[in-house]
């Protein structure tokens, strides 16, 4: 594992910026302006004592001089992976910023993910104008469509180069951004000057060096409604039990934050912390105690939690290479029902999985505003010739993160930290582990 000071935070550029920006701004950002990632005094002192510069990243924002001449550059946009609130907001923001701020008239929306950036694509790209995206932020999903799977680099670069497209905005998670990094390298090998700028889309909020990703806040807001429903169902029956399964393949941020927002769940199960079912300190015994006390129980579980119960089974992956987890929600429902029957406990179990409802929602107000800013900063970066980066949000500032740095690992909840302790205080849950 690399330490904080070992990352290369230098941002790649296509070359000298020789064209003046058309923006009328007194807030231009210099490339020398940088944001320290870890602002804790102890860390800063140690870094300086060792003669090392603290890990810092480049600020995002408009540049005074551009690599691409305003109005004469062609750009493309692609969305990949699963749906997420805010996809249409980001597309809209990019189109509006390119058109109105930089005079770009040729903006192409590639259909159905990376497979749309080839001559073999089943659907030709959209030529996007402001009127085409004017109201799309009111709808969930993506007007461009999406897909998973590794891109064909040779076909993609041939298509982009042949059509003089010099900017590519890649909207997607870590798999998408790894593909974007590969596209950047392939463009270099071909000698095609291509600005590749990623916008990290992960509803799970698990992109490294990014405080929050778009769609996450909407997901938490929608998820808490499902927890409320489970709570109402549970308290409507003696010893009632409600189970809510939420997104969170490898990180439990949605489950944890939704539990804090709702504050009626008694157990929050996340991928970062294993738990036991059987035994004195197991989940089943904890539920048994609540039933004996005449109390209802709401369990919120992230989709990636409890995968240790399925060890030894066949491993399946999706088209992007992500491991398809076994369904922990249905597993818990069946185990709890069996336990209740075996112990003659008069309780009912209600199970809710709102995942597809949540991820297809339009962005809420805060997410929508965040998406607009994210898109604007992506356009500023691309026009200045920045490449092989994602636009990150850190300490309430927008920054440029090299793609390799952003995807080196998934961000996870620190189960020894204050945040997870706050979740445990809110639920009152014990350590559900026998050893």
Q: Is 162 a catalytic residue?
A: no
pLDDT 10s digits, 7-30: 889 999 999 999 999 999 889 999
Q: In which band, very low, low, confident or very high, does the pLDDT at 2 lie, cut at 50, 70 and 90?
A: very low
The sign of the torsion formed by the CA atoms of 247, 252, 253, 256 equals: positive
Provide the Cα torsion 7, 184, 103, 10; round to 10°.
20
For helices 253-262 and 216-235, angle between their N-to-C axes, nearest 10 degrees: 60
Instruction: For 4-213+362-406, give the CATH class.
Output: alpha beta
Nearest in space to 203 (alpha carbons), one of 88, 35, 86, 41: 86
4-213+362-406 shares its CATH topology with 216-360+416-427: yes
Report the greatest alpha carbon distance in the chain: 78
Nearest in space to 214 (alpha carbons), one of 411, 371, 358: 371
Q: Give the per-residue pLDDT at 322.
A: 66
- The 8-class DSSP code of residue 55 comes to P
Q: Give the per-residue pLDDT at 38.
A: 87
| Residue 399 CB partners (closer than 8 Å, separation 6+) | 35, 57, 58, 59, 60, 391, 392, 393
Check 204, 206, 367, 388 and give the catalytic one.
Answer: 204
Q: Is the pLDDT confidence value at 3 over 60? A: no
* Phi and psi angles of residue 363, each rounded to the nearest 5 degrees, phi first: -70, 145
Q: Tokens standing for 374?
A: 């994210």
* Burial (Cβ within 10 Å: 0-12, 13-18, ≥19) of residue 176: buried
Distances from the Cα of 64 to the Cα of 23, 95, 105, 195, 341, angstroms:
8, 21, 21, 18, 70
Sheet holding 349-352, edge to edge: 267-269, 297-302, 241-246, 349-352
Mean pLDDT over all residues of the chain? 93
Share of the chain above pLDDT 70, in %: 96
Distances from the Cα of 301 to the Cα of 67, 117, 433, angstroms:
48, 38, 16
The listed CATH number (3.40.50.460, 3.40.50.1820, 3.40.50.300, 3.30.70.100) that belongs to domain 216-360+416-427: 3.40.50.460
Q: Give the per-residue pLDDT at 177.
A: 94
Q: Tally the residues of the chain.
A: 435
Nearest in space to 118 (alpha carbons), one of 163, 171, 156: 156
pLDDT 10s digits, 217-266: 999 999 999 999 999 999 998 889 999 999 999 999 999 999 999 999 99
pLDDT 10s digits, 129-177: 999 999 999 999 999 999 887 778 889 999 999 999 999 999 999 889 9
Q: Is the pLDDT confidence value at 314 over 70? A: no
Domain-wise residue ranges, the chain: 4-213+362-406, 216-360+416-427
By 3-state DSSP, what share of the chain in percent is helix, strand and coil, each rounded to 5?
35, 20, 45
């Amino acid at each position: 594992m690399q330490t904080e000071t070992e990352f290369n935070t230098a941002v790649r550029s296509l070359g000298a910026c020789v064209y003046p920006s058309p923006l009328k701004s007194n807030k231009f950002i210099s490339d020398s302006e940088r944001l320290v990632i870890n602002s804790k005094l102890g860390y800063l002192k140690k870094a300086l004592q060792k003669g090392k510069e603290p890990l810092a990243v480049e600020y995002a924002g408009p540049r005074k001089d551009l690599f691409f001449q305003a109005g004469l550059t062609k750009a493309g946009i692609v969305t990949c992976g699963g749906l997420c609130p805010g996809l249409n907001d980001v597309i809209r923001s990019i189109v509006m910023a390119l058109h109105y701020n930089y005079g770009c008239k040729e903006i192409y929306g590639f259909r159905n993910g990376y497979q749309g950036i080839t001559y073999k694509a089943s659907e030709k790209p959209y030529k996007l104008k402001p009127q085409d995206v004017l109201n799309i932020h009111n709808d969930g999903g993506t007007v461009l469509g999406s897909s998973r799977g590794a891109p064909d680099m040779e076909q993609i670069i041939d298509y982009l180069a042949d059509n003089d497209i010099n900017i590519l905005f890649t909207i997607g998670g870590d798999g998408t951004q790894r593909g974007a990094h590969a596209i950047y390298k392939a463009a270099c090998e071909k000698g095609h000057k291509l600005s590749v700028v990623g916008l990290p889309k992960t509803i799970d909020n698990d992109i490294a060096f990014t405080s929050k990703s778009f769609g996450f806040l909407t997901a938490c807001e929608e998820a808490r409604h499902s927890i409320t429903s489970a709570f109402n169902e549970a308290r409507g029956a003696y010893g009632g039990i409600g189970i809510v399964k939420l997104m969170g393949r490898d990180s439990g941020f949605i489950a944890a934050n939704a539990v804090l927002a709702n504050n009626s769940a008694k157990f929050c199960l996340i991928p970062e912390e294993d738990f036991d079912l059987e035994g004195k300190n197991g989940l089943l015994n904890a539920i048994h105690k609540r039933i004996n006390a005449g109390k209802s129980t709401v369990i919120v579980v992230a989709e990636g939690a409890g995968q240790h119960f399925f060890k030894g089974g066949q491993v399946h992956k999706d088209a992007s290479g992500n491991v398809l987890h076994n369904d922990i929600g249905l597993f818990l429902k069946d185990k709890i029902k069996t336990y209740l029957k075996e112990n003659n406990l008069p309780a009912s179990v209600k199970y809710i999985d709102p995942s597809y409802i949540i991820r297809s929602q339009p962005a809420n107000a805060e997410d929508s505003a965040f998406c607009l800013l994210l898109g604007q900063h992506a356009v500023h970066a691309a026009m200045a010739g920045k490449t092989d980066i994602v636009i990150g949000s850190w300490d309430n500032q927008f920054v440029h993160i090299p793609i390799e740095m952003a995807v080196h690992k998934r961000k996870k909840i620190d189960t020894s930290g204050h945040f997870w302790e706050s979740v445990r205080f809110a639920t009152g849950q014990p350590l559900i582990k026998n050893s």
